[in-house]
């Protein structure tokens, strides 16, 4: 782990027993040389592992604590009450247990509350898309007021991480900000029962997968369960750290970098015997953004898999495959206004 004020690096071929840690504070408030050291370390982690544990990130601890308290309170409510704020057509609000199913795998053993980006676009066409739908907040005093500050703080951190990534890739530092002016980013508040409680239906809290967006920021409680597949194929536990935010690369950023950045498989198995809570924020560009290596790393696509795609259309198609409730809801006729 890095010493205060220093960015961690991992020597090529070195064995690790956890994902590397980078101190982000010098990027947020240091001189150019200190920022460059963080940029290099962060880029190295994204290239080798697609994951990094970020400290010195500046998230207010009180904001994080309030968000977790709100999560526990919401998931403790009766199932019927939670389902009152389930918008299946738009994948917003309450997401019931076992709703996410990847092809060939058992359903994932978790429930969630899905929050759309807090600043919705003015464009009527975009506002009509599921990814820009309003969040159906529960009638639970203080819930929204404790969740929204956490969203805003995490999203601001995500923007800073992408500025560092852009610099590492030799692009203008505001590259991702310009491509994300009408972002469809979203956050999830997730509850994982102990694995034993869901074992008959589910093998994992979340099955092995890669995220679909640019980057994901994750804050988690101290119960653990997240692990990442290394380039060698072994599974590396992401040891909980109350001072860290876990950052991982998504498929869109891997695609945009022509495969230079890794999008690692990761999964969750809650073997702690206790209730586990986590809050991931998925950072995405604008819906119609073209993901093309020529625009970011100035390279021709290295393989057919890196041919230009449209961000939102690609992510939308993927979610239709592994969210049964969403797929079913989309097949239903829209009720007349």
Domain boundaries defined on the chain: 53-331
Residue 298 burial by CB count (10 A; 0-12/13-18/19+): exposed, middle or buried?
exposed
pLDDT of residue 156: 98
CATH of domain 53-331: 2.60.120.330
Sign for the CA dihedral angle at 167, 170, 176, 177 comes to positive
pLDDT of residue 336: 40
Rg for the chain, CA atoms, rounded: 19
Backbone dihedral angles phi then psi of residue 291, each to the nearest 5 degrees: -95, 100
Q: pLDDT digit of tens for each residue in the chain (337 aa)?
A: 344 344 554 444 445 677 899 999 999 998 999 999 999 999 999 999 999 999 999 999 999 999 999 999 999 999 999 999 998 878 899 999 888 777 777 787 899 999 999 999 999 999 988 899 999 999 999 999 999 999 999 999 999 999 999 999 999 999 999 999 999 999 999 999 988 888 777 777 788 889 999 999 999 999 989 999 988 888 989 989 999 999 999 999 999 999 999 999 999 988 888 999 999 999 999 999 999 999 999 999 999 999 999 999 999 887 776 665 556 555 555 444 3
Sign for the CA dihedral angle at 35, 36, 41, 45 comes to positive
Distances (CA, A) of 303 to 258, 293, 308: 8, 11, 11
pLDDT of residue 192: 94
pLDDT of residue 329: 53
pLDDT of residue 196: 85
Bridging pattern class, strands 245-249 and 51-55: antiparallel
pLDDT tens-digit readout, 143-161: 999 999 999 999 999 999 9
pLDDT tens-digit readout, 263-285: 999 999 888 889 999 999 999 99
pLDDT of residue 10: 45
- Which contacts of 313-317 are long-range, i.e. CB under 8 A and separated by 24 or more positions? 313/287, 314/212, 314/252, 315/131, 315/212, 315/213, 315/252, 315/284, 316/130, 316/131
What's the rounded Cα separation, in Å, for the pair 215 and 163? 12
What's the rounded Cα separation, in Å, for the pair 287 and 218? 22
Token pair of 128 as six digits: 């009509």
What's the rounded Cα separation, in Å, for the pair 302 and 270? 38
pLDDT of residue 57: 97
Bridging pattern class, strands 21-23 and 51-55: parallel
């Amino acid at each position: 782990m890095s010493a205060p004020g220093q960015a961690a690096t991992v020597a090529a071929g070195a064995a690790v027993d956890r994902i590397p840690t980078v101190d982000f504070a010098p990027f947020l408030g240091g001189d150019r040389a200190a920022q460059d050291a963080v940029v290099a370390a962060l880029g190295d982690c994204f290239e080798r592992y697609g994951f990094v544990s970020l400290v010195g990130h500046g998230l207010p601890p009180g904001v994080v604590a309030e968000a977790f308290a709100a999560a526990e309170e919401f998931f403790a409510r009766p199932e019927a009450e939670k389902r009152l704020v389930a918008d299946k057509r738009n994948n917003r609000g309450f997401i019931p247990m076992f709703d996410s199913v990847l092809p060939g795998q058992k359903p994932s053993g978790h429930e969630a509350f899905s929050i759309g980006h807090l600043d919705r676009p003015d464009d009527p066409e975009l506002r009509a898309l599921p990814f820009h739908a309003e969040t159906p907040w529960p009638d639970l005093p203080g819930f929204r007021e404790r969740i929204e500050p956490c969203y805003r703080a995490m999203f601001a951190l995500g923007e800073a991480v992408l500025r560092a990534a852009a610099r590492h890739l030799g692009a203008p530092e505001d590259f991702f900000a310009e491509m994300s002016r009408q972002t469809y980013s979203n956050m999830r508040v997730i509850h994982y029962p102990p694995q034993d409680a869901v074992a008959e239906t589910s093998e994992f809290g979340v099955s092995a997968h890669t995220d679909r967006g640019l980057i994901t920021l994750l804050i988690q409680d101290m119960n653990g369960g997240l692990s990442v597949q290394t380039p060698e194929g072994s599974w590396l536990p992401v040891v909980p750290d109350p001072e860290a935010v876990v950052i991982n690369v998504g498929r869109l950023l891997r695609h945009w970098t022509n495969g230079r950045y890794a999008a690692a498989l990761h999964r969750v198995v809650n073997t702690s015997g206790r209730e586990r809570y986590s809050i991931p924020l998925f950072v995405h560009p604008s819906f119609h953004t073209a993901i093309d290596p020529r625009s970011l790393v100035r390279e021709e696509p290295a393989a057919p898999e890196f041919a230009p795609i449209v961000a939102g259309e690609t992510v939308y198609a993927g979610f239709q495959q592994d969210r049964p409730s969403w797929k079913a809801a989309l097949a239903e006729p829209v009720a007349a206004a």
